[in-house]
């Protein structure tokens, strides 16, 4: 893609701007503000709901899905968007986000009907180390246990459902994971 730069005098710029504004009014659109660039954003849903600037990386979903890898290791330097991409995957696949196609409207993944049908159809357990800030091993382990406990609480409804076998339910109950004192 080539970029062309034109140097115009102020009168020409003002004339073009007024013309563009008039065209948008005639089309029934309001003049919109530039999107905000959210520095350090790690939550895909929040970023999209706030209509922040977002570089479309949803092709990763299709590439990852079509590769059919059993294990995927994503290694990137700090501040490279790993957590943002993982929250994007969570929003796309998790049944917690069923019916939230609005998060993907206008992005490349949403152009493919096959993937629109996949959105929000899988149970996803999302665990991120990004929030575990610690200077020593014990605090890091405690932070990880806290996150696991929160996941258990989020999915504790399964213990009273028919979705998992009784044998599976018994694995989790004796561990006292649901107990607030577990640490």
Q: 162 and 110: one domain?
A: no
Q: What is the mean pLDDT of residues 21-29?
A: 59
Whether the Cβ atoms of residue 74 and residue 67 lie closer than 8 Å to each other:
no
Residues 117 and 148 in one domain: no
For residue range 42-55, what is the model confidence (pLDDT) as tens digits? 899 999 999 988 89
- Note whether 52 and 38 are within 8 A (CB): yes
Contact at 8 Å (CB) between 131 and 143?
A: yes
Residues 136 and 109 in one domain: no
Kindly state the average pLDDT of the residues 9-21: 51
Query: Cα(64)–Cα(86) distance, rounded to whole angstroms?
Result: 12
On whether residue 96 sits in a domain, the answer given is yes
Q: What are phi and psi of 24, to 5 degrees?
A: -65, -40
Number of separate domains in the chain: 2
**Lookup: tokens for 145:** 């246990």
Expressed as residue numbers, the domain containing 152 is 131-183
Query: pLDDT for 70-107, tens place per residue?
Result: 888 888 887 788 889 999 999 999 999 999 999 999 99
């Amino acid at each position: 893609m080539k970029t062309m730069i034109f140097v115009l005098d102020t009168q020409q710029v003002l004339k073009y701007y007024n013309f563009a504004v008039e065209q948008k009014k005639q089309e029934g659109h309001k003049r919109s503000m530039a999107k905000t660039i959210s520095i350090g954003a790690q939550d895909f849903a929040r970023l999209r709901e706030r209509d922040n600037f977002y570089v479309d990386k949803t092709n990763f979903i299709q590439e990852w899905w079509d590769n059919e890898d059993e294990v995927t290791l994503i290694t990137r330097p700090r501040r490279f968007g790993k957590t943002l991409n993982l929250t994007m995957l969570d929003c796309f696949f998790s049944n917690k986000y069923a019916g939230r196609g609005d998060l993907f409207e206008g992005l490349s993944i949403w152009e493919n009907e096959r993937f629109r049908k996949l959105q929000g159809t899988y149970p996803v357990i999302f665990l991120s180390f990004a929030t575990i800030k610690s200077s020593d091993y014990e605090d890091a382990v405690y932070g990880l246990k806290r996150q696991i406990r929160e996941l258990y609480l989020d999915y504790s409804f399964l213990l009273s459902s028919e979705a998992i076998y009784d044998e599976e339910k018994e694995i989790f109950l004796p561990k006292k994971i649901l107990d607030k004192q577990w640490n």
